[in-house]
Amino acid sequence: MDAINNLLIQLNAFIGNKSVWFPYVLLGTGIFFSLYLKFPQIRFFRHALRIVTGRYEKDTFEGDTTHFQSLSTALSGTIGTGNIGGVGLALWIGGPAALFWLWITAFFGMTLKFVECTLSHKYRKVEEDGSIAGGPMYYMERKLNMKWLAVIFAVATVICSFGTGNLPQINNISRTAQKVFHIPLWAIGGSLAFLLFLIIIGGIKRIAKVTEKIVPIMGIIYIIGALTVIIANYHNIIPSFEAVFAHVFTGRSALGGLAGASFALAFRQGVGQGIFSNEAGQGSAAIAHSAAKADEPVSEGMVSILEPFTDTILICTLTGLTILSSGVWKEKADNIIFQRADMEIVAGVYQEDNKQDAAALWDHINRSSKDTVKPYNGELNLQNGKIADSSDVTVIHARSVAENMMFKKDGKPVTGPISISNGKPDDSSIQIVGRSRIHSAMLTAEAFKRGFFGDKGEYIVSIGLLLFAFSTVISWSYYGDRAITYLFGLKYVLPYRLVYIAIFFVGALIDTTIVWNFANFAIVLMAIPNLFGILLLHKDMKNSISEYWDKFKKEHPEDAKKIGISS
């Protein structure tokens, strides 16, 4: 697993959403379409609200789901771990400024969603069993005549269904449930895997019925919980916003230690977690929207504008303010089980409050060319679970110097020498518990304990995460089976679903850091062909909007006057 994690880190640096070039490609495409289409995320927002209520819907329209069900399915695919764990991860690495770049990604992402969902709906097809098949792979083949690009996108979708829609969701559910309710990882993974099987075997219609009920409920629960923390810490609301905007373009070493963040880290984390959260530009939600009952693709594209707004500008902002106003983002927590991929034992004694030590560790953690810190190799002497005073080592966990470590095996403290290679215990069954910074869903859970509900607030996160993340897993199973249908045909959908469920169970047991590294890589594999495809169809998109409004004025002249938009 150490080798896999190192490989994923290298891939992320080259082609993942932590690479130098990808955030600029994503934002650049969003900015281009926003200017080219005259900011549809603003002009069409009100009309999108009217459409999603079913005002213009007819039973005669072809499709499998209503506008609201398509929106619910797509939202359930986007509102998930990214809103709870992803924001916690972004703030943990990138600092408060990462929240600003989340907002920017969402604003321009609203246009990207509009474009990709419109084009995917426009070039969808009806399968042999009567179900609707749509998504970027269909406009790539049927309009661009680029079968090769469609195949690349479909393969990437299958990979991404595991990488972003499956593994991070169950991993964060299981880790949070283990911490809050003390449920074994295998137990939560197994029970939810069985429930997942019962739901996704029924296909999109059963999925849509489940998600249209889960999405509103989970949203209300989570919003109320977040507001109780923010209101309880109202005196920190303005300082939190100041922290977000103060160092957007410069970065800052917020604590004078390892928790500081450069502009590059804040930017990459904000944009990277932005696309993970709302999936704008990724092309995934376009698969759900393609199934909607609508005679005009542009109308369904307008509905999709509401997704990044709801997902990121509303839900992610609440999560971010909860973490920042509570102050937990810059604190350490006790009794943390150190995940192997997040931990390293280095040679030498380093202190975070020493500027030179902090700078050296910062360079090491961020793989700087100036890195002089070396992983420890050799024997480490332990006495009743504690490192011997004479040992010249430092334990790093979650980008912080760990404290009060206890080394355990089979639940008992370890005494005697243990072998360390490249900063990790050779015996992977040795578990380390101690005090360190935390990230992802656990950071959000800790923040929710600082509100009116006290320690019980973490239950809201655990329940909210269960609903958020599990609904995401459900929706992504549909995205994956549409890609499998495109690549191999309907008969391979059931085997795919069974593999999907098996991977879901395994995801409960894997290190969180490895899961996130895989997710960040998988997103880009899917996004690049989609962004390339919609750029080639920019004229088609503009013509589709003009045709939509021409038809709308004829069929709904009174509403057209109220809207006051003709193109």
Kindly state whether residue 441 falls inside one of the protein's structural domains.
Answer: no
Kindly state whether residue 404 falls inside one of the protein's structural domains.
Answer: yes
- Answer whether residue 316 shows pLDDT above 50: yes
What's the whole-number mean pLDDT along residues 512-518? 82
Distance, CA of 123 to CA of 127 (rounded, Å): 13
Check residue 498 and give its pLDDT.
93
Same domain, 156 and 282: yes
Same domain, 455 and 418: no
Same domain, 302 and 211: yes
Same domain, 75 and 216: yes
pLDDT band, very low/low/confident/very high, at 506 (cuts 50, 70, 90): very high
Please name which of 282, 288, 269 lies closest in space to residue 113, comparing C-alpha atoms.
Answer: 282
Higher-pLDDT residue of 560 and 113 is 113
Check residue 179 and give its pLDDT.
76
Rounded to 10 degrees, the C-alpha dihedral 95/108/140/500 comes to 40
Please name which of 116, 144, 479, 138 lies closest in space to residue 301, comparing C-alpha atoms.
Answer: 116
pLDDT in tens, 355-395: 889 889 988 988 888 899 999 999 999 999 999 877 899 99
Report the percent of the chain where pLDDT is more than 90: 40
What's the whole-number mean pLDDT along residues 10-37? 86
From residue 467, give the alpha-carbon distance in Å to each of 45, 68, 279, 308, 339: 27, 18, 18, 19, 25
Domain stops at, among 407, 436, 465: 436
Distance, CA of 541 to CA of 553 (rounded, Å): 19
pLDDT band, very low/low/confident/very high, at 567 (cuts 50, 70, 90): very low
Same domain, 47 and 76: yes
Same domain, 282 and 211: yes
Kindly state whether residue 442 falls inside one of the protein's structural domains.
Answer: no
- Answer whether residue 235 shows pLDDT above 70: yes
Distance, CA of 150 to CA of 154 (rounded, Å): 6
Check residue 60 and give its pLDDT.
56
pTM, two decimals, is 0.83
Domain stops at, among 436, 463, 484: 436
| Host domain of residue 397 | 333-436
Average pLDDT taken over every residue of the chain: 85
Max avg pLDDT among 215-229, 413-427, 435-449: 413-427
Same domain, 312 and 389: no
pLDDT in tens, 263-308: 777 787 788 777 777 888 999 888 888 877 777 899 889 988 988 8
Same domain, 26 and 102: yes
Same domain, 21 and 68: yes
Domain stops at, among 414, 436, 458: 436
Our count of domains for the chain comes to 2
Distance, CA of 146 to CA of 142 (rounded, Å): 8
Q: Of the given ranges (216-220, 446-450, 513-517, 540-544), which has the lowest mean pLDDT?
A: 216-220
Output the CA angle 87-91-97, nearest 5 degrees.
110
Distance of CA 119 to the CA centre of its chain: 24
Terminal Cα-to-Cα distance of the chain (whole angstroms): 54
499 Cβ contact list (under 8 Å, min separation 6): none
Max avg pLDDT among 30-39, 192-201, 220-229, 310-319: 30-39
Same domain, 412 and 556: no
Same domain, 289 and 370: no
Max avg pLDDT among 19-23, 66-70, 466-470: 19-23
